Structure 1
């Protein structure tokens, strides 16, 4: 059944690449092609979840390229594919400029996410991780003519890329540890499922590296700030990347390697407390936001904190259920925010007053999703969140209280997001319209339908941890955490009390110092990371100029002198040939041929060297996307060879 996995990943990857390369020629058909491909992906993902295909090919000595649909990925594959389909339907209706490039990049990104979900070895995970990061950079900075958007994409890329180095560290530790244990010959040392069996020191290095990489991708502390800048991307990008895909993959990776975290003895606790801290700190930041997309971004980090906590306390079922419920909830909210931005030209909360009254279906869908985000019974995040909190309480009471504080804050920022959209429009409200872009004052029907469907999914996803379905999920993932009725009641009452209080004050909460700037986390990262890296690069450049450049110059001089020497030899041969020319006519003829052959060979060699030098300069453009395009071509060729020659 490996062909099913190849189709599942190859169809969006191939179609996305074709659309992106075709450019403007494919603009008219790109939205239709993209939606059709997403339907095929949804069908293939559902079939893969039922049939459980697997694929393994030899990649390098001691390292295989493995994909497999197990219990965890079988739960998430159809959910991610469904969200991707609805987001692409919305994007097709939104009429985004440059549709071929946009939809092509989205499909390539989706293919990378699918590989991430099914990867069973570190080489496969690294391959998907790289493509996912590069595609996210291109999508966040999609409107490349606006420099601040490109800058935001670059900030997000560098922040996550820095954390991604941990994954390479983990791969190195796995390879070294496998060599010590003798597992390298079979490739077992690079298997994600076998990392907990690495020798002690290498196991700790692998756990630390994966933890850092996952925290970066999931926008957990201290990497959370990049998600704020990522909001400069199109709303459809935010709805996919920051709900069901990119940030979700950080939490998913921790759930995948939970045995490794537990085996290390310290990484599980580190993950749990990092998630709890993010839920509280980013919850406070979300409460203090005045921009709807910024509020949703901060709440994404906070909610992914609960998934990270679930991985730390060993609650795979609760973490996976919360991941899926959050994906439906947050994608609905991001799409609604994008529809209002396109219609009214603003995403400031104060300027969105009365937006729900103006578009009742969109307002009702937004309200349903935001109540789920608040944890109001019986909606999804109320149940999935409590499942995680129950596992946290069994692990540590302080950890449980921190998670509960994050849940209370969720009710506050969700209520703030919903409080104004049903209030009557004030006389001065319209003055804030068109402050960010020119609004159309209309919302297309096919922009509203995906939001409604996702909101319904957000309401019902709590069944993943309740009743018979919850028992099945816990049985599949081997988790025994189950919330009691008193715990569910307490959580629901707290959320409802906070919601009513915030609603009564009209969504006006006191300003939290530093919340709008996300506690200056980006500036701190610049001071602690960017400056040292730039200083190191400057010193290396000086070393290059002083040492390496001189060495290259010396080599060139040596080559020049060698050429002069060869020329002298050639001249000597010419003289010898001339001296021998008088002996016989036949000898003269042969000497002439030798002379011409040597001259021709030297000239041909010189022309080849000059041509190679000119060709070598062309890829060295200094443009980051050119280098990534070259790397992508090499990776694609390698992947094709792996599939064909195996």
Structure 2
């Protein structure tokens, strides 16, 4: 069973990675791209179930003092099936939406999924860094997939550079882990020496918060919306952003061991959940609303990591993945059909495509926290643990939960409310203002929505008895779930009241949050512009000082060479001629010595050796008795010599 699990673990990473590379680099695989990627994704689902049951560990030599190690613990066993199932469903929807460059798209998506699986199973920091880098590069290629559009490429570059800057923290953590003496295994990091342990925690925290789009770098998630909708669905649900929260759950013992990292993580997560919830409420673009809500919902996972609610964070990740993949795929289907993602152009859209509309409704209600759907229970598990830490932290989390109901209710009202006849022209104008829609949604785009709607409805059972106890025991936190019926009832009542209030009166849209709190502008002012100015100053220094020095030195050498020309002709050339003449005379004399003396000596030596050879051949007659005689003579001579010398 162990051997089967180990083979499945290697295959879970290697098969999609190899298939993705072949598809991305192949030029003749357009027709087979979608079927091949779906087959690989389906196989990955089976493999993930095998490794979730067996929980194997494998490793090979990689670096001095560190191995390339993959391991599946209880937390990984919960997250891996979620990752592979969502990947399969997103690729199924993409088969109906992506009609150009299919091989490159599906290849990159498989590479992206493989890097996420490697992130989940990484047992050492070098393995994690390897996966982290591939995931970042694949996300850049997918966000800027339509590379002929400069804005999309720019958006991909913004996301890549922002997360890449935060990724430096992982390298800092690896150096600190080596210096701390505990090794590079993730499980051993809490045992580092105290000073280096703090540095390792700070590095991992920076990298994870950057990937999870937490404050103050959440703005890159807004730019990531430039990618195709299936990319957004996978990136925002089960991969990339979710991996930042997963890493914090994985290293929760390290955060707790420092004394400061756990509280910092809690408050960053709570603040992101609250402020990005306000950003989501302010949005008028459906994909931007969903993007802001992703950062907000991952804020709950980050809060869980800081508070020690690992089982609750894992359950929330799974529920959020199903919910957000569903909503992004529905938004992508409406965009391809109607040509718009503006909320004003999506009014009463449920009436046109009921299956898509009803599925999205389930997802929105789950996002709002309406009982008994998934995120209602998983959020309350985290908030209950936050209450143990601080009443203020709980209050912030509860306010963020209320904002979830507000922005989800806003979306529900838009897609369900009928359009008066006098406003239909405005709706049509929005639908034709962005791009030309196809007017239809294929069966491949609709089929995954039904499965994801089931997940959005029922994955909350992971936080409720009896499954809650099983999950908490699996992740090594038995007895973690302590929910009271009063807390669940209050949370559900608040969410329901807010959704009903939004249905009666439009939710206020805070203008200060419309542009994502001005984070990108702040980054431009505080980071990008100073960096560019520093680069310009260094360029001026290079032009005015270094280049002038080099040019001046070259001119001086040129002048010196010109002045040395006559001296070279009169003195050096004559010296060289005289020296060469002398060398010729010496060579001639040496040749005469060689002919007369050396050659004669060599010939005489050769003649002597020939004579000795002739003498040596004489005893070699082949007669045995002669050999015995010679041996006796040699023996006698040896005895005589020994006697004389003795």
Both structures adopt the same fold (TM-score exceeding 0.5): yes
Q: Deviations over 1:485-543 (max 9, x none)?
A: 100000000000001111122xx322312222111110001111112222333344456
Residue 91 of structure 1 corresponds to 94
Partner of 2:531: 533
2:16 alignment partner, SS class: helix
Q: 2 CA distance for matches of 1:575 and 1:80?
A: 81
**How many residues in Structure 1 have an aligned counterpart in Structure 2?**
570
Distance 1:346 1:574, change over 3 A: farther
Give 2:565's aligned residue: none
Write the distance in 1 (CA, Å) between the matches of 2:474 and 2:318.
16
Counterpart of 2:13 (choices 9, 14, 17) is: 9
Cα distance change, pair 396–87 in 1 and its aligned pair in 2 (3 A): same
SS of equivalent residue, structure 2 residue 512 = coil
Q: CA deviation at 1:483?
A: 1.3
- Name the residue aligned to 2:511: 513
1:275 corresponding residue in structure 2: 269
> Within 5 Å, which residues of 2 pair with 1:216-615?
216-426=210-420, 427-428=424-425, 429-479=427-477, 480-505=480-505, 508-542=506-540, 579=584, 583=588
Is the alpha carbon distance of 1:586 and 1:459 closer, same or farther for their aligned partners in structure 2, counting shifts above 3 Å? farther
Flag structure 1 segments of 5+ consecutive residues without an equivalent: 184-188, 588-646
Deviation at 1:575, TM superposition (A): 5.5
1:71-220 residue pairs with structure 2 within 5 A?
Answer: 71-178=74-181, 183=182, 189-220=183-214
**Which structure has the larger Rg over C-alpha atoms?**
2
Cα gap change, 1:342 to 1:203, in 2 (>3 Å):
same
Instruction: Verify the 8 A CA contact 2:463 2:481 in the aligned structure 1.
Output: no
1:544 positional shift = 5.5
Distance 1:96 1:304 in 2: 32
Shift of 1:556: 11
State the match for 2:564 in structure 1: none
Deviation, structure 1 residue 481: 3.2
Query: Displacement of 1:554 after TM fit?
Result: 11
Deviation of 1:581 (Å): 12
Instruction: State the distance in 1 between where 2:163 and 2:476 align.
Output: 31
> Matches of 1:408 and 1:48 in 2, distance apart?
38
Distance 1:245 1:576, change over 3 A: farther
SS of the equivalent of 1:144 reads: coil
SS in 1 for 2:241: helix
Contact 2:74 2:476 in 1 (8 A): no
- Choose 386-395 or 424-433, whichever is displaced more: 424-433
Deviation at 1:353, TM superposition (A): 0.7
Look up the SS of the partner of 2:415 in the other structure: coil
2:519 match: secondary structure: helix
Q: Which moved more, 1:190-199 or 1:58-67?
A: 58-67
Per-residue deviation, 1:476: 1.6
Q: CA distance change for structure 1 residues 582 and 282 in 2, over 3 Å: closer, same or farther?
A: closer
> Deviation string for 1:569-618 (max 9, x for gaps)?
xx99995799479959999xxxxxxxxxxxxxxxxxxxxxxxxxxxxxxx
The whole-number CA distance in structure 2 between the counterparts of 1:112 and 1:579 is: 72
1:64 counterpart SS class? strand
How far the C-alpha of 1:199 sits from its partner, in A, is: 1.1
Q: Do the aligned partners of 2:280 and 2:289 also contact (CA within 8 Å) in 1? A: yes
Mapped contact 2:73–2:475 kept (Cα < 8 A) = no
Q: CA deviation at 1:162?
A: 1.3
Shift of 1:400: 0.6
Q: Deviations over 1:244-293 (max 9, x none)?
A: 10100000000000001001001100000001001110001111110100
Q: Give the distance between the partners of 2:496 and 2:579, measured in 1 at CA.
A: 99
Please give the alpha-carbon distance, in whole angstroms, between the structure 1 residues aligned to 2:418 and 2:339.
19
Alignment partners' CA distance in 2, 1:442 and 1:502 = 30
Question: Cα distance 1:548–1:114, how it changes in 2: closer, same or farther (>3 A)?
Answer: farther
Question: Contact between 2:349 and 2:416, CA under 8 Å: does it hold in 1?
Answer: yes
What is the Cα-based RMSD across aligned positions, in Å? 2.7
Q: Secondary structure at the match of 1:514?
A: helix
**In structure 1, C-alpha distance between the alignment counterparts of 2:373 and 2:364, rounded to whole Å:** 10
The CA distance in 1 between the partners of 2:549 and 2:218, in whole Å, is 44
How has the CA–CA distance of structure 1 residues 246 and 553 changed in structure 2, closer, same or farther, with 3 Å as cutoff? farther
SS in 2 for 1:208: helix
Q: Distance in 2 between matches of 1:278 and 1:577?
A: 88
* CA apart distance, 1:467: 1.1
3-state SS, counterpart of residue 159 of structure 1 = helix
| TM-superposition CA deviations, 1:434-485 (whole Å, max 9, x none) | 2222100100011011111111111010110111111011112233132111
CA distance in structure 2 between the aligned counterparts of 1:556 and 1:15, rounded to whole angstroms = 55
Task: Sort the Cα spacing of 1:549 and 1:253 in 2 relative to 1 into closer, same or farther, 3 A.
Answer: farther
Is 1:60 aligned to 2:60, yes or no?
Answer: no
